[in-house]
Amino acid sequence: MRTRFHSLLLSAAAAIAFAAPASATELNITCRCVVGGVNSGMAEWIEQKVIPAFTEKMKAEGKDVTVKLTQFGGEDEQLTQQLALDFSTGAGPDVSGFDGFLIPSFVQGNLLKSLEEVAGPVVAKWDGWQHISDGTKALMSYQGKPYGIALGTDARMIFVRKDLFKSAGLDADKWQPKSWEELLEAARKIKAAAPESFPLQLNAGVSMGEATTMQGYWMALLGTGEQVTDDSGKYIVSSQGILDTLKLYKTIYVDEKLGDQRAQLLADGRNRTFANFRDGKTAMLVEGDWFYRSVTAPGAEFAVADRDNVMTWKKMPATAPGKGLRGQDFVTVSGGTGFVINPHTDAPQESWALLSFMNSKEQLTAFQEIQPAIRIRDDVAIPNSPFLTETATTLLPITTARPNDANYNKISTEIQRMTESVVSGELSPEDAMAQYKAAVIAIVGEENTVSTL
Amino acid sequence: MKKFSLLSTRAGALFLAPATALVGVFVIIPFFWVIFVSFTNRTLLGRTAVDPDFVGLQNYFALFNPATFFTRGQFGFSLILTIQFVLLSALIGQALLGLLLAWLSQSVTPTLKSFLQTAVIAAWILPEVVIGFAWFAFLDYDNGTLNMILRGLGLPPGDWLLQQPFWVIVFFNTWRGAAFSMMLFNSAFQSIPPSYFQAADVAGATSWQKLRDIALPLIRGHVVTDLILITMWTFNVFTPFLLTHGGPSYRTEILSIYTYRIAFKDFEFGKGAAVGVVIMLINLAFALVYLRIAHKKPVEAE
């Protein structure tokens, strides 16, 4: 009996040994992307285009590399949380999807290394860099060194449902709000025509994470002529701009119930805002171009039926013409997501080979066929999409970027709390701002903050 | 007293060594490490991850800062919320419901009794994640079972998880934990000689009188044990997270969830450790009370 058991154990060991020949390298790549779910296009691209072609290319170079995509279906913040813990313990995928604004805090926490530190001089020799502008390179850089490669940049705007406008007697094609008041006026008219609807949605609350800060708070705050920091990089903790922004939230969610308050407070809120827009409950949703490219694309979970006729987009106005940041009439803010390499990867060369391969002209062109976008390489053609060309020409010239600062991530969380306490009706805008002020001072110290009130 | 031992002290120590080493590595060292970290501003992200500063008692002062103590999403708010949660869901909910169920099941038919007990224990043995998801599905506003029933009866649906999140987790925890108290009281009741109750029946006592005058005084020790155990468990329970994530707006953020958020979502290890130490001290107090009573019990029984 015992010998039989032993032989069984031995053959099992042999089987395992043969299944994994010593020369094979296994790479893991992860992103918030699921085939048929969130960012489906990215998952399809990696699974169907990148991985087969990359394995082939490596084989031609005499290397046996297998790549496995882990499709992460949770929220952005959950992926960030997992990566932070993974990178701190030497675990995690070799290549991972990553939001550029997190890079400073990760780098200072020693959780990321620059591409050159990970993979060596081969990084600088990559021929792709000459096709990537300094501006887009900076999206995933900190103190001049790239820590990853961005897939591209984005911009934010108001997405509009023409059918809801029409039912309230408004012509969405001719409409472009020039002030917050005009924005609210349209929302009021739609609310009067359809009392059950939530005409205007501006993101707020903790559970949406950075989507609250970027798509909601920044988009309003920039319209008051302010940013989160002043010109010298100090955080503004008390100002008329913050107060006006919070009052706008209060008008939308508490005083006039123009937006869906539940969607800002519940855990799966962002998907609720998508569903509201899809189902014709929301007429105006402030979101990033991702919402058009991926979320509402035909075949996606939140696909808008008859999208070309039903959906359009408008620029986000400042409080009043000329009152926006730099005296602008309209405002927007941009960020960038891409991929980074795990500093603890066992196969730095292969990981870099994969990352650079993903950003090769051929692969990005292949991505265009699945999901058209403005790619970071100047030699990848922009597809003939009116949405992309229009947004690029009107929004990118007036856009703003978040501070490239290690504390921004924490401040952003405080911003989310501040908006949540106003939107839930718990605090007045004045009290919420006072709470924000105390929290920010506790994080960066009073000397790095300014009050203009 | 004559000292009796199978092994010499040295051999005994040798046998104890592996266990001591394991306990040391996985319990004692982390214990002191947490206390040490609570005196620093260590984080996972940013500069203080690599180069934390020693901040003394600053983390503790921040927790008990009177200016923010009662604000939602702060330590004091969570502490008070946890005390309310323990009082309502453990002491009133679980213990009372358990007592009631145990008492009622004394006087029903064996078939009904076993059915009742199976149903209650099922709520107790199912895995937490399964339960959490089931309750989430039950209470959902749009497609939840409860609201479907209410609509079917022509009643207005309720937005339970958003409007009444605290009562949801109180009710949930009562439902979840009543089985333990029920089983404990059940076995306690069975230890009472049936003749006591038969005598009371002859005297014409009502069920309430029997419970108040015979059963409860006899199982007092069990009651105290039960109360302390469920208090400690409920104080540390994390399962409500599966229902509400501590929200909306921190309204269900009991201490365990607060600690999790500070340490593993905001990545403030220093502050998170300080909260951990405070919770540890509170638990220690509970444990001392429990041990004290447990030691007293044999004397009482005599």
Contact A80, A87 (CB under 8 A): no
* Beta strands A148-153 and A145-146, pairing class: unpaired
Taking the alpha carbons at both ends of chain B, their separation in whole angstroms is 23
Residue A416, token pair as written in the block: 């989310």
Looking at the complex, report in whole angstroms how far the Cα of residue A116 sits from the nearest Cα belonging to chain B. 21
**DSSP labels for A321-346?**
TT-SGGG-SEE--B-EEEEEE-TT-S
Which residues of A fall within a CB distance of 8 Å from B248? Answer: 265-266, 424
Residue A433, token pair as written in the block: 């701002």
Nearest Cβ partner for B248 among A81, A424, A435 = A424
Looking at the complex, report in whole angstroms how far the Cα of residue A394 sits from the nearest Cα belonging to chain B. 35
- How far is the C-alpha of B64 from the C-alpha of A100, rounded, in Å? 36
Which residue in B37, B41, B43, B45 has the most chain A C-beta atoms within 10 A of its own C-beta, making it the best mutation to test that interface?
B45
Q: What is the pLDDT of residue A54?
A: 93
Nearest Cβ partner for A106 among B45, B62, B162 = B45
Q: Do A426 and B249 touch (CB under 8 A)?
A: yes
Which residues of B fall within a CB distance of 8 Å from A88? Answer: 44, 49
Q: Would you report the helix, strand and coil content of chain B in percent, each value rounded to 5?
A: 75, 0, 25
Q: Searching chain A, which residue's CA lies closest to the CA of residue B47?
A: A108
Q: Do B162 and A265 touch (CB under 8 A)?
A: yes
Phi, psi (deg, nearest 5) at residue A97: -65, 145
Helix (H, G, I), strand (E, B) or coil at B52: coil
Q: What is the pLDDT of residue A450?
A: 93
Mean pLDDT of chain B: 86
| A vs B: CB pairs below 8 A | 70
Nearest Cβ partner for A81 among B49, B162, B264 = B264
Residue with tokens 């994080």: A443
* Beta strands A141-142 and A148-153, pairing class: unpaired
Q: Model confidence over A175-234: pLDDT tens digits?
A: 999 999 999 999 999 999 999 999 999 999 988 989 999 999 999 999 999 999 998 989
Q: What is the pLDDT of residue B11?
A: 87
Phi, psi (deg, nearest 5) at residue B149: -65, -45
Helix (H, G, I), strand (E, B) or coil at B261: helix
Nearest Cβ partner for B71 among A266, A406, A435 = A435
Looking at the complex, report in whole angstroms how far the Cα of residue A311 sits from the nearest Cα belonging to chain B. 26
- Name the band, by pLDDT with cuts 50, 70 and 90, for residue A21: very low
Helix (H, G, I), strand (E, B) or coil at A403: coil
Q: Model confidence over B177-236: pLDDT tens digits?
A: 888 898 899 889 888 888 888 888 888 888 888 888 888 888 888 888 888 889 988 999
Looking at the complex, report in whole angstroms how far the Cα of residue B68 sits from the nearest Cα belonging to chain A. 9
- How far is the C-alpha of A258 from the C-alpha of A283, rounded, in Å? 10
Q: Looking at the whole model, is its pTM more than 0.80?
A: yes
Asked if the C-beta of B161 comes within 8 angstroms of chain A's C-beta atoms, the answer is: yes
Q: Do B161 and A266 touch (CB under 8 A)?
A: yes
- How far is the C-alpha of B230 from the C-alpha of B92, rounded, in Å? 11
- How far is the C-alpha of A77 from the C-alpha of A268, rounded, in Å? 12
Which residues of B fall within a CB distance of 8 Å from A81? Answer: 264-265
Q: Do A81 and B249 touch (CB under 8 A)?
A: no
ipTM of the complex as predicted: 0.77
Contact A205, A425 (CB under 8 A): no
Nearest Cβ partner for A109 among B45, B247, B265 = B45
Contact B161, B141 (CB under 8 A): yes
- Name the band, by pLDDT with cuts 50, 70 and 90, for residue A4: low
Q: Do B45 and A409 touch (CB under 8 A)?
A: yes
Residue A116, token pair as written in the block: 């050159």
Per-residue pLDDT for A244 more than 50? yes
Q: Which of residues 30-69 of A touch B (CB under 8 A)?
A: none
Question: How many percent of chain A have pLDDT more than 70?
Answer: 95
Helix (H, G, I), strand (E, B) or coil at A276: helix
Q: Model confidence over B132-176: pLDDT tens digits?
A: 888 888 988 878 889 889 988 888 888 888 888 899 999 999 988
